Amino acid sequence: MSNQIEVRPNRKLHARDFMIYGHFIEHFHRQIYGGIYEPGHALADRDGFRTDVMEALKRIHVPVMRWPGGCFVSNYHWMDGVGENRIPFFDKAWRVEESNQFGTDEFISYSKKIGAEPYICTNAGSGTAEEMSDWVEYCNLTVDGKWAKKRIENGYANPYNVRFWSIGNENYGDWEMGAKDLKEWGRYVKESAKMMKRVDPNIELFAASIADLDWNINLLREAGKYLDWISIHGYWDTLNEKNDLADFETCMAYTLAIEPEIVKTKHILGALGYLDKIKISFDEWNLRGWHHPNVDSKPEDYLTPRDKNDWNDSYTMADAIFSACFLNQCLKHGDSVKMANFSPTVNTRGMIYTHADGIVLRSTFYVFELYTNYMEDEVIDSWADIDSTFDVWLDGKKITIPAIDMIATRSSKNGQLAISLINRDPDNSHSITLKGTEQKHGKLYSILSDSKDAYNDVKNPDRIKLKEETLEFNGETIRFDIPPHSVHVLKL
């Protein structure tokens, strides 16, 4: 079949924001404790941070880290997690005791060590506008105020200058502590934003949102003039109660459901007059939702089932391909989507798994390594005429899926091209014909495996990894084959 791609290197569509390669960490199961933070471990530094995890994160140049939640934040009071006398509390979101050993100061320190900008999500569940603004004071004011002085007293003389702040997390959902209705939310965000920006007018404010017109009409009419971002979330393989993971083919169907959420949000912003003012942050996303059954019921054991999140055989080439398709959509809509945060970074459904002797880099890690190191900073005009397709049945309906997904980028510094090429097809290679560039050779960086269901684990950590090869071309048209279930970046 004919799969033709044409690029127009001299036609820039928009700039890519590197923040789309961001990450998220929450106080859930082993993400913080036993994940990024494990004092006393042989691989931990003097501050308790796992050095093997930090080195892996530096490899993918994490631009921004969102914390502390997630559902956790909606009953989190930050003041109990700073200073020498940490006050533990019972976390009502996940029904465990939180030690508060890892708090604001540790998060800022960790962000600096991995070279990421800190992004703090505030408690809009049981919290107050004053509590949020006090948090801004603690982090950003030099000496003025009770909380800036408290930071200095805690041993941190210089302000942290945290730029990104979110009001709330999923407060539209009844699963969230302190969920709000439409009218409550707009007013609550407005009053919180006023206080936070009075403390530091330079911060950028996010508000928890959803691709829903009614929710955003109330939010933006009340608080739109104070906001710089709206925050949306997405998990496509919902696994809260049952850990029945979707198969490869179903996950490929889910890749077609990414773009509609972005487009709908853009249309809502445009309809309300905020398209050029308020940016979209897809600040929690992953193919697979977290498994946490029985959190609202009374079984004797609701914690042990969460260990299933850490089964490495769950994270196959399906996860890698979905993640690459997601990033392609962020690039395609980079005029509005300026940040995205993979959820989570470590353990649970994360791209890194920690164990006593080291780490496993799951398939999704290599997607970030591929995109952060080899894709370029300008999205250019391209089109694809894809004849190769395959069919998937989902909820009783046949869905025809294009085998190839692609997007083209260009370096603003030297004009070098980088084209993402993804083969969703589980079983078949497909030939690509590329027009619009005259090249004699190129580099192809690929995520490959011997099976669509391949995964990395402690015993076999390199079954999926990043590979490099040089391609030789002849003439104006470039032709080559893309193997099944694979992700690539072609550098020209």
pLDDT tens readout for residues 478-489? 888 999 999 999
Q: Is the pTM of this model over 0.95?
A: yes
d(CA 19, CA 340): 7
Please, what are the domains in the chain?
3-10+378-491 (2.60.40.1180), 17-374 (3.20.20.80)
Vertex 143, ends 141 and 146: CA angle to 5°?
Answer: 85
Give the per-residue pLDDT at 189. Answer: 98
Task: State yes or no: pLDDT of 107 exceeds 90.
Answer: yes
User: What is the tens place of the pLDDT at every residue in 168-187?
Assistant: 999 999 999 999 999 999 99
pLDDT at 490 over 70: yes
Q: What percent of the chain has pLDDT over 70?
A: 99
Is 36 in contact with 345 (CB distance < 8 Å)? yes
Residue 298 pLDDT: 80
Q: Give the three-class secondary structure for 482.
A: strand
Nearest CA to 230 out of 284, 278, 286, 192 is that of 278
Residue 374 to residues 366, 419, 473, Cα–Cα distance (Å): 12, 9, 20
Write out the catalytic residue numbers: 170, 284
pLDDT of 471 reads 87
Distance of alpha carbon 183 from alpha carbon 295, whole angstroms: 28
pLDDT score of 299 more than 80: no
What is the C-alpha to C-alpha distance for residues 208 and 189, in angstroms, rounded to an integer?
A: 9
The pLDDT of residue 476 is 66
- The closest of 485, 329, 342 to 422, measured between CA atoms, is 485
Q: What is the pLDDT of residue 411?
A: 97
Residue 146 has what pLDDT?
97
Confidence of residue 1 (pLDDT cuts 50, 70, 90): low
Pairing of strands 3-15, 430-435: parallel
Give the pLDDT mean for 108-121.
Answer: 98
Q: What is the percentage of the chain residues whose pLDDT exceeds 90?
A: 93
Q: What's the whole-number mean pLDDT along residues 395-422? A: 96
Q: Give the mean model confidence (pLDDT) for residues 287-315.
A: 94
Q: What is the pLDDT of residues 412-461, one digit of tens each?
A: 999 999 999 999 999 999 999 988 777 778 999 999 999 999 999 999 99
Q: What does the pLDDT average to over 276-289?
A: 97
- Whether residue 240 contacts residue 292, with contact meaning beta carbons closer than 8 Å, is answered with yes
| Rounded mean pLDDT, 320-325 | 98
pLDDT in tens, 326-376: 999 999 999 999 999 999 999 999 999 999 999 999 999 999 999 999 999
Asked whether residue 257 carries a pLDDT value surpassing 80, the answer given is yes
Residue 65: which of 30, 102, 107 has the closest Cα? 107
How far from 414 is each of 369, 378, 406, 410, 476, CA to CA, in Å? 21, 11, 22, 8, 21
Q: Give the bridge partners for 279, in sequence order.
A: 229
343 and 286 Cβ atoms separated by less than 8 Å: yes
Strand segments (E) across 293-388: 337-342, 352-355, 358-361, 378-386
Cβ-contact 56, 358 below 8 angstroms = no
Does pLDDT of 288 surpass 90? yes
Say how far apart CA 115 and CA 117 lie, in whole Å. 7
475 has pLDDT over 80: no
Average confidence score pLDDT of the chain:
96
Tokens of 123: 């408690």
Angle between helices 182-199 and 213-223 (to 10 degrees): 40
Q: Which amino acid is at 388?
A: S
Query: Does residue 168 contact residue 125 with C-beta atoms inside 8 Å?
Result: yes
pLDDT for position 300? 77
448/363 Cα distance (integer angstroms): 10
Residue 205 confidence (pLDDT): 98
For residue 197, pLDDT beyond 70: yes
